[in-house]
Structure 1
Amino acid sequence: MTKINQNPQDRKWDYTFAYSLLLLIPFDLLASLGMDLYLPAINDIRQSFSVSQDQMQLTLTLYMAILGLGQLLFGPLSDAIGRRRVVIAGALVYAGSSLAMALTDSFNVFLLLRIIQALSASAVLVAAFATVRDVFADREEGVVIYAIMGSVLAAVPAVAPFIGSLIDGLWHWRGIFYTLAIFAALVGLHALLKWPETRPAQTHPFEWSRCFNIIRAKAFLGYTLAYATAMGAFFVYFSASPSILMDKLGLDKVAFSLWFGSVAIVMIITTRFVKRLVKRWGTQGTVLRGLIGMMLSCGLLYGLEWLNGLSLLGFMLPMYFIGVHIALTCAVTANGALAAFSHSAGLATALYYAIESLFLSALVSLLIWLLPSGTTLVICSYILISASLSLLFILSIRADHK
């Protein structure tokens, strides 16, 4: 550990792996909690503001889209001014916007604050992952930390909806946003005291040509779309499950939260085996297995619904298989996409998350608009379309290397 009286900006990142996780994971959590914690209260919020279901859906899809777009700003900014400043400022703005959301009585103001919250979430997310790239790119622990952080983004629902339902029961939905504000303020203070600057001295300044060089790389696009497949599979499960589990299958808020979060628990368990599997299969072999596994699992999911109609186990068991392959895919996509861009880690990380967020929010929104709700068709369609596109790029990379 470093000396307490040393300026954090002058430190090196010489923390243990466990303490590194303690610093990094909360910023990973902020982005996901902004989606997951208020899911059980979404109907209460809609009724409080007297708005339609489509308007409430906008608070989800806008958040995802802005989470991606914001990283196009904050990735290059973290390359220019450093990770530390971006992550601390992002946490403080997140805290302020969450507090204001708890206090407002206007849905339009709530939606505007939701955009600000998403922008601040994108700032802390890109700065945290760029820091991981700075510190762990050449270490063996890199695979493990990417797997953990990738899974956290999708696995917060293991507990967040349940906690959100408890908070909603005690302090109504506004208490959820008070909770987010307090949490963001605490982790921002922790970063202010302990987060050292990790930006490499040789980091390249932002240039449009560097964006194009990154985007046109087959490996970058293939692995980024693979990440979009994995995270989008969970996001569409996130969007569709209230209609399926509560409206169609009749679960209450607590039962919904427990069943919903059980998929995330499966993903967390899978991360315990990731390092061993990646060592055996390699990055490309792991992502191919993850994508193909998701496609086969969604075939099972829709097949069970087509044969027997919607049932709790018929929905949840295939989702567990999908969860396993989401965790496998998330473990390797960041390293696969960013490996060639160590001198533009902030920009490459921003593009990675921006493309992933924009792709999944656009495709999910389109599928929700086109396809009937209360079925597994949206989940299966998203996985098949997204995984197929990713496989085209990754198999093309494999063909080029032969």
Structure 2
Amino acid sequence: MPIKHPRLWTYSLPVALVLLAPFNILASLGMDIYLPIVPAMPAILGTTPEVVQLTLTLYMIMLGVGQIIFGPLSDRLGRRPILVSGVCVFAVTSLALAMTTSAWLFVLLRLVQAAGAAAMLVAIFATVRDVYADTPESAVIYSLMNAMLAFVPALGPIAGALIARYCGWEGIFLALCFSALIALPLVLPKWHETRQSREHSSRADFSVVLRNPYFWVYTLAFGTAMGSFFVFFSTAPRVLIEGAGLSEMGFSVAFATVAVVMIATTRFAKRFVARWGISGCVTRGMLMLLFSAGLLGVGEIFLTPSIWSFVFPMWLVAVGIVFTTSVTANGALHEFSEMAGTAVALHFCVQSLIVGVVGTGAVIALDGSSAWPLIAYTGGMAAITLAMLIGLTRYKQQR
């Protein structure tokens, strides 16, 4: 049903974050809170580790690719219905996961659970685009949302381990279910529909977005920034626990400091976006990543693994991530206000494929117990993104 008069959000940034954050966190928590019980799941489900691995792999794939489905639907039906549907699917499948010990049903339910998470993410970021497009506040929203996601991989597994210890593995999925069911009725009365009515057909939406050079450059920048954190997440346990000799708790604290730096930098996001603009922020972010990759290289060659040789450069990477992610969504989507849902879906799908394929490739191809995968990904992708930014500048000058 067309929405003729969507209600404007007039909330302060803290209130808007309270509305948006629960579903942003839940979508990622569905992956990370489950990690501590993965080694035990083959025995619980009576299957092989390879089948259990599918419950992780398919969740990650659906989280990105599923947005292609829900993006256009949110443009047609509205952000609010997609949010409600996504939360309900996520909650019901989480409950079902806690009640089954059938391996293949478990895999299928994880896939459907990820579809609900993807719908939540589309509703969240399309709403942000509707409400805060081309405003300084959008930088604060985007950077804070990404900083929250940085905390989930650090704290999610700890929460999962504690829940599993005292409530069993089923408690993890019951916690996800109850969290979703509690958040929805609290948030929904204030979550007004923000989609603008649209009369044109959306058949060509995908091609319109994919032909746009701004979309590709800023989506690549987003993938470069978030992929740097993904590769850090993938290599840090071996580098810091096995190489540097940190305890599991020491590792968790060191890991969490990177997210703390991201949140601290976010405090100044509005200021530096106003000063540097979109392209200036991304350029500085990529230069920060290149410099950090150089420091990591020095530490890998001349020093032994430690917090100072591995985590300190990641604090600088965290600053570069905030510089970049504060503006990349607006940079990629600024020409698509009438089909924000579709554009958001492609933006997150493409960047998740960049992170998954290139980031995983770096970890597999290089020594995952060293900083080399992080050096290669962060430095290489930042250099490519800077080259594309230069090309985009020339493109704008020729128009």
Same fold per superposition (TM over 0.5) = yes
CA 1:248–1:204 in structure 2 vs 1: closer, same or farther (change >3 Å)?
A: farther
1:79 aligns with 75
CA 1:32–1:212 in structure 2 vs 1: closer, same or farther (change >3 Å)?
A: same
Deviation larger for 195-204 or 315-324: 195-204
* Offset of residue 142 of structure 1: 1.9
Question: Tell me, which stretches of 5 or more residues in structure 1 are unaligned?
Answer: 1-8
Q: Report SS of the residue matched to 2:11.
A: coil
Provide the aligned C-alpha RMSD in A.
Answer: 2.4
* Offset of residue 171 of structure 1: 2.6
State the alpha-carbon separation in 2 of the partners of residues 238 and 203 from structure 1: 44
Please tell me the residue identity of whatever aligns with 1:111.
V
Deviations 1:126-166 (A, max 9, x none): 11110111111144322211221232233333533333333
State the alpha-carbon separation in 1 of the partners of residues 199 and 11 from structure 2: 22
Q: Is 1:104–2:100 an aligned residue pair?
A: yes
The equivalent position to 2:386 in structure 1, one of 388, 391, 400, is 391
Deviations 1:198-240 (A, max 9, x none): 1101364421x33122112111101001111111111222222
State the alpha-carbon separation in 1 of the partners of residues 285 and 50 from structure 2: 33
State the alpha-carbon separation in 2 of the partners of residues 265 and 298 from structure 1: 20
2:366 aligns with 371
8 Å contact kept, 1:225–1:387: no
The equivalent position to 2:252 in structure 1, one of 254, 257, 270, is 257
State the alpha-carbon separation in 1 of the partners of residues 226 and 31 from structure 2: 13
1:90 aligns with 86
* Offset of residue 88 of structure 1: 0.7
Please tell me the residue identity of whatever aligns with 1:391.
L
Q: Is 1:156–2:170 an aligned residue pair?
A: no
Please tell me the residue identity of whatever aligns with 1:166.
L
State the alpha-carbon separation in 1 of the partners of residues 250 and 199 from structure 2: 49
* Offset of residue 77 of structure 1: 0.4
1:6 aligns with none
Question: Tell me, which stretches of 5 or more residues in structure 2 are unaligned?
Answer: none
State the alpha-carbon separation in 2 of the partners of residues 109 and 149 from structure 1: 32
Task: List aligned pairs for 1:162-181, cutoff 5 A.
Answer: 162-181=158-177
Task: List aligned pairs for 1:105-254, cutoff 5 A.
Answer: 105-202=101-198, 204-207=200-203, 209-254=204-249
8 Å contact kept, 2:52–2:107: no
Task: List aligned pairs for 1:309-388, cutoff 5 A.
Answer: 309-388=304-383
* Offset of residue 53 of structure 1: 6.5
Deviation larger for 316-325 or 329-338: 316-325
8 Å contact kept, 1:294–1:321: yes
Q: Report SS of the residue matched to 1:104.
A: coil
Q: Report SS of the residue matched to 2:323.
A: helix
8 Å contact kept, 2:244–2:304: no
State the alpha-carbon separation in 2 of the partners of residues 328 and 304 from structure 1: 24
8 Å contact kept, 1:90–1:123: yes
Deviations 1:157-194 (A, max 9, x none): 35333333332332344322221111112222234433
Q: Is 1:30–2:13 an aligned residue pair?
A: no
* Offset of residue 326 of structure 1: 0.9
Please tell me the residue identity of whatever aligns with 2:177.
A
* Offset of residue 41 of structure 1: 4.3
Deviation larger for 244-253 or 136-145: 244-253
8 Å contact kept, 2:80–2:123: yes
Q: Report SS of the residue matched to 1:186.
A: helix
Please tell me the residue identity of whatever aligns with 1:104.
T
Aligned residues: percent identity?
Answer: 43
